[in-house]
Amino acid sequence: MIEAATVAYAVRLAAWGLLSVSVLGVAAEFFWRLWSLGSVGRSARQRHQMAVAHLAALLVGPAVIVAGVIGLHYSLGSVITREPPTSQLLPLRYANPGTSLILLLWLSGVAAMLAHLVVQYQRLQTIKCWPAPAFLAEEVVCLSRRFGIKHGVPVSIGDVASPQVTGVFMPRLTVPAALVRLTVAEREAVLLHELAHIARRDVAINLAQRVALALIWFQPVAWAMYQRLAAEREACCDQLAIDHGASRAALGRALLSFGVPTGAPVMAMAGVGHGTLAWRLTQLIPTARRVDTPVLPSAVIGALALGMATFCGVRLVTTDPGLTDLYLASAAGPVVAVTARDPAGMFALKIKRGRVIGASVDAKRLPASAILQQAEKVTLLDGVHREIVSFSVTGAGRISWIARRPSAPYR
């Protein structure tokens, strides 16, 4: 029973966490659109950071809500006093088919998303590659110095639609054979873009984001936010390539020559794999330079909004009486102190996870041998093993009994 209550408590908490992801998704979309109204003139780097922050809020918010509920339950202390006993004792339900089904569907989705990532990784390992020409390897070495990349970046010709960076710990660059036919300026622009991904550690960060996305796969706002940050990530690398010597015109011509490939592995950083081609090209138009405007006001407002949403979420979850009862019956639950009174007098109990661990009658403590319990049925005995009172108890410390008639006090 103890294990069942603990598992049921965790499952119910998880269900509330999943529900909060759905609610926070609506809030995240609202604040993103609100922020976007004033994002004109902001740099790609800043837009990317805000998209990452909104996606992170969908993970951090529910986690904080669940942690807050657990913290409130622990704050009840090691001993709590139960409200007066009820005459109608409802059994504590450890299993909720609806909650269990929701959790099962979520776990199935998470497993499917993670399996997809594994398949994508294996797909990358099967790409046919050939040694790159010496001049191309030398260009990569020279351009890497502009980003301060000290370790060598292996480069090879592969059966890929566009240049891409793979490898979390040891990044490597794979380019299509068509790259060597580009002009020097175009080839340099493409290589600078890919090296920007390596300098930013985008492969590792993207993997972490994909794992996070797998945890909230059911939230469409999360997928939309990921597409936004992926597009802004490419715009960031475009800008970094330009800042490190690439020509806007050459980069634009290179993008047009490769087009937008379909079916690119999600585990790789493909140079033209995210965002529409038209949007990417418009970002290269030399208009007024986009700058990083102060983000402190937006950050403060966002933090306050997330904090308020989290506070409301914690308060809402703690109104679930079934969740509190499951906590009391769980392995982490406190001792529940119950004082009962009827015409025959008063008796007090200490209950831990549905087991009566202490009892007294008319302020006189009973020895452990005077407490007989079989499942939910408990009987308290006097010194000559006569029944004093019999009652039922639940794992959450609720009791129910038939009121006794007045009698001589317990001796």
Please say if the pLDDT value at position 77 is more than 50. yes
Confidence at residue 318, expressed as pLDDT on a 0 to 100 scale: 74
Distance of CA 332 to the CA centre of its chain: 24
Confidence at residue 219, expressed as pLDDT on a 0 to 100 scale: 93
- Write out the two tokens for 126: 């099967």
* pLDDT band, very low/low/confident/very high, at 311 (cuts 50, 70, 90): confident
The per-residue pLDDT for range 212-262, each reduced to its tens digit, is 999 999 999 999 999 999 989 999 999 999 999 999 999 999 988 876 544
- Between the CA atoms of 314, 318, 324 and 326, what dihedral angle is there, to the nearest 10 degrees? -60
Distance in angstroms between the alpha carbons of the first and the last residue of the chain: 35
Contacts by residues 350-353 (CB-CB < 8 Å, ≥ 24 positions apart) = 350/79, 351/82, 351/393, 351/397, 351/399, 353/1, 353/2, 353/5, 353/328, 353/329, 353/395
Global pTM value: 0.80
Cα–Cα distance measured from residue 406 to residue 279, given in angstroms and rounded to the nearest whole number: 86
- Write out the two tokens for 207: 């993997």
Alpha-carbon radius of gyration of the chain: 32
User: Residue 261: which region, alpha, beta or left (left: phi > 0; alpha: psi -120 to 50)?
Assistant: beta
Scanning the structure block, which residue is given the tokens 């110095």? 145
Q: If you average pLDDT over every residue of the chain, what do you get?
A: 84
The per-residue pLDDT for range 178-212, each reduced to its tens digit, is 999 999 999 999 999 999 999 999 999 999 999 99
- Between the CA atoms of 283, 288, 293 and 298, what dihedral angle is there, to the nearest 10 degrees? -50
SS3 readout for 319-381: CCHHHHHHHHHCCCCCEEEEEEEECCEEEEEEEECCEEEEEEECCEECCHHHEEEECCEEEEE
Report the DSSP beta bridge partners of residue 387: 381
Cα–Cα distance measured from residue 318 to residue 67, given in angstroms and rounded to the nearest whole number: 12
Cα–Cα distance measured from residue 32 to residue 25, given in angstroms and rounded to the nearest whole number: 10
